[in-house]
Amino acid sequence: MADFARDPRLCDIARSFLGPAAFPFRATLFDKSGQSNWLVVWHQDTALPLREKHETRGWGPWSVKDGIHYAHAPANTLEQIVAIRVHLDDSTTDNGPLRVLPGTHNRGLLTDDEIHQLSLEIEPDECHIELGGLVLMCPLIVHASSKAKSHQSRRVLHIEYAAHASFDGLTLVVA
């Protein structure tokens, strides 16, 4: 997986947004199917894996998952991260595609109430992507996905790239 995330073609895409030092630090495989089907509510991706916890202005709340410290990052840090989603299956209306609220990545960090209000005001876009297609997204974009209505799989490899290894004296965990 690490070799795939470091593929020059993917890194070049990330670097075109983040600068020449951008590197992959985390990857997640989403595998939605008839046997594994879930709803994801409207949210922003704000928690980052960090080597150690030290209270830092603008970071938090903190948590620990599988022995790794996580903190919710400030907007200026999240603007230096991009995710590349590699579609391993077609993404269609029936298999619970990614939905985004366009333009919300420019609004900074939002509260749950603000996100809910935006979900009522902004028409969502469904991301219908063919097998092998890519979606690039900023962690600040408000996004969600519905449960699948069919048994057609929707597998997506979600690779996150950062402009730097450290932000405000906190260092990312590189998986």
Cα–Cα distance between 40 and 50 in angstroms, integer?
24
Query: Each residue of 22-61: pLDDT tens digit?
Result: 999 999 999 988 778 888 999 999 999 999 999 999 999 9
Going from the C-alpha of 41 to that of each of 72, 96, 100, the distances in angstroms are 18, 12, 11
Reference 50, options 71, 66, 75; nearest CA is 71
Domain ranges of the chain: 2-171
Three-class secondary structure of residue 88 per DSSP: coil
Query: Each residue of 68-111: pLDDT tens digit?
Result: 999 999 999 999 999 999 999 999 999 999 999 999 999 999 99
Residue with tokens 């603008």: 58
| pTM score of the predicted model | 0.95
Cα–Cα distance between 112 and 87 in angstroms, integer?
28
Q: Which CATH architecture has domain 2-171?
A: Sandwich (2.60)
Supply φ then ψ for residue 47, to 5 degrees.
-90, 135
Q: CA 93, 40, 145: angle at the middle one, nearest 5?
A: 20
DSSP state of 6: T
